[in-house]
Amino acid sequence: MSVRVVARIRPLLDKELDKDTIVRAESGGDGKTMNIVRIPNPKNEAEEFSFSFNGVYDMDTTQEELFTNEVAPHLKSLFQGLDVTIFAYGVTGTGKTHTMRGGLKLAERGVIPRLLSGIYRRGKKITKDSGGETEVTVTLSYYEIYNDKVYDLFEPPDKRSLAGLPLREKDGKTVVVGLSERACDDLKDFERLYIEANNNRSTAGTKLNAQSSRSHAILMVKVIQTNGDETLISTASAIDLAGSEDNRRTENNKERLVESASINKSLFVLSSCIDAIGRGDKRIPYRESKMTRILSLGQNNGITIMILNLAPLRSYHLDTLSSLNVSSRAKRIEVREIENEVVFTQPPRKTASITGTSIQRQPLR
């Protein structure tokens, strides 16, 4: 199993243009590829933390660039039978849904519609190259995990049991009992199903008093290739995780605490699994939460890509730091004293200063 952890810094929104930015991307080695994120120490602004990733995507990265660099290269492996799992991890408001789902305009489409589009294109090519002998079928399942319960997003909310769907072990794999699987023949089909299910998500949220930022949404795309009696099945999973912010800091009613506990636990288990896979451990603690169990993270031969979404704003400082800590494989690579160096980068339209430190401003790239 291979794992890649990359960070994506979102641009400032129109209403944020006058705000301080504290997160910046840097190239660690060859001067070309960005792979370092720098952020000041909130307790001592003269000091700065650096985190290394397999890749860092700056504010100006387009949806297409991210997909082309991080997801498209794995389509081939998917069709060779490997499972591909893509997570978006980060604080609410940092761009997880934008990265995974994206906007309706072609250029704004996120990882998920691009993934489907890539799958159909490749599937057609495989059928054609085999002279029509290999048939490729695609099915979708889509569910959310809220408070450690599984809800089918293809089921209308009024048909759903609040207890959620049970899990069962079958042939060494965890399956969600009763989860629906819809045939999905082309991109049009996909868009219709996906929009319908996402509407179910928000409606279900109201019923359960959940906001989408407090549940994990998991899309599973099954690719079935048949050639005579031979069948090869592989799955691409795309996951928009619950917000990783420390809810205990801001919310304190009982319901929120229950949510927080289960969000924090599943995200913690996820990061432990990623750590363990990254280290090449034999034992991956995927059994410790429902989400990681269903994904059999570490159990299968597959490729995992974790995208850490970051907002560059100072108002996210503590949460950003904690999500950096989690996803950079809990490894702080260095703490650096700064003297007369860039301590943070400004958007070009803004000037600011930090008392006692001299600042140079330079564009991010």
Positions in the binding site for Mg ion (CB under 5 A): 96-97
Q: Which is nearer to Mg ion, 86 or 277 (CB)?
A: 86
Indicate the residue among 292 and 309 with the shorter CB distance to Mg ion: 309
Place of tokens 């868009």: 191
Instruction: Pick what 304 binds: Mg ion, ligand ADP, none; C-beta below 5 to 8 Å, kind-dependent.
Output: none
Nearest to ligand ADP of 10, 329 (CB atom): 10
Selection from ligand ADP, Mg ion, none that 222 binds (CB < 5 to 8 A by kind) is: none
How does DSSP classify residue 11?
A: P
Name the closest residue to ligand ADP (Cβ): 95
**Residue bearing tokens 């690579």:** 333
Choose between 213 and 299: whose C-beta lies nearer to Mg ion: 213
**Which of 98, 109 has the CB closer to ligand ADP?**
98
Using CB under 6 A as the binding criterion, the count of chain residues that bind ligand ADP stands at 13
Q: CA-based angle 76:35:6, to the nearest 5?
A: 50
- Residue 299 touches which of ligand ADP, Mg ion, none (Cβ within 5-8 Å per kind): none
CB of 41 to ligand ADP, least distance (A): 24
Cβ partners under 8 Å of residue 185, min gap 6: 138
CB of 312 to ligand ADP, least distance (A): 11
How many Cβ atoms sit within 10 Å of the Cβ of residue 103?
A: 11
Instruction: Report the partner that residue 52 touches, choosing among ligand ADP, Mg ion, none (CB closer than 5 to 8 A by kind).
Output: none
Q: Please, what is the Cα angle at 329 between 86 and 302, to 5 degrees?
A: 35
Closer residue to ligand ADP (CB): 111 or 297: 111
Which residues contribute to the annotated binding site for ATP? Answer: 90-97
Which residues neighbour 68 within 8 Å (Cβ) at sequence distance 6 or greater? none
Nearest alpha-carbon partner for 360 in 20, 312, 45, 351? 351
- Determine the 3-state secondary structure of 260 from DSSP: helix
Exactly one of 141, 213, 289, 299 binds ligand ADP (CB under 6 A); which one? Answer: 213
Cα–Cα dist 175/337, whole Å: 50
Q: Does 302 bind ligand ADP (CB under 6 A)?
A: no
**Of 11-40, which residues contact ligand ADP (CB under 6 A)?**
11, 13
Closer residue to ligand ADP (CB): 213 or 235: 213
* Least distance CB 92 / ligand ADP (angstroms): 4
Which of 20, 57, 60, 58 minimizes the C-alpha distance to 40? 20
Closest CA to 165 of 175, 239, 219: 175
Question: 225, 309, 323, 327: which one contacts ligand ADP (CB under 6 A)?
Answer: 309
| Best CA proximity match to 283, nearest among 305, 260, 299 | 299
* Residues in 38-97 at the binding interface with ligand ADP, rule: CB under 6 A: 90, 92-97
Quote the least distance from Cβ 5 to ligand ADP, whole Å.
17
List of residues 6+ apart from 176 with CB closer than 8 A: 141, 143, 150, 152, 165, 166, 167, 294
CB of 272 to Mg ion, least distance (A): 23
Please give the structure tokens belonging to residue 61: 């990265």
Nearer to ligand ADP, 130 or 202 (CB): 202
The Cα-based distances of 335 to 45, 246, 247, 332, 341 in angstroms read: 12, 23, 27, 8, 14
Q: How far apart are CA 107 and CA 94, in angstroms?
A: 19
Residue 102 contact, options ligand ADP, Mg ion, none, Cβ 5-8 Å cut-off depending on partner type: none
Pick from ligand ADP, Mg ion, none: which does 94 bind, CB < 5 to 8 A by kind?
A: ligand ADP
Known binding-site residues equal 90-97
Interaction site with ligand ADP (CB under 6 A): 10-11, 13, 90, 92-98, 213, 309
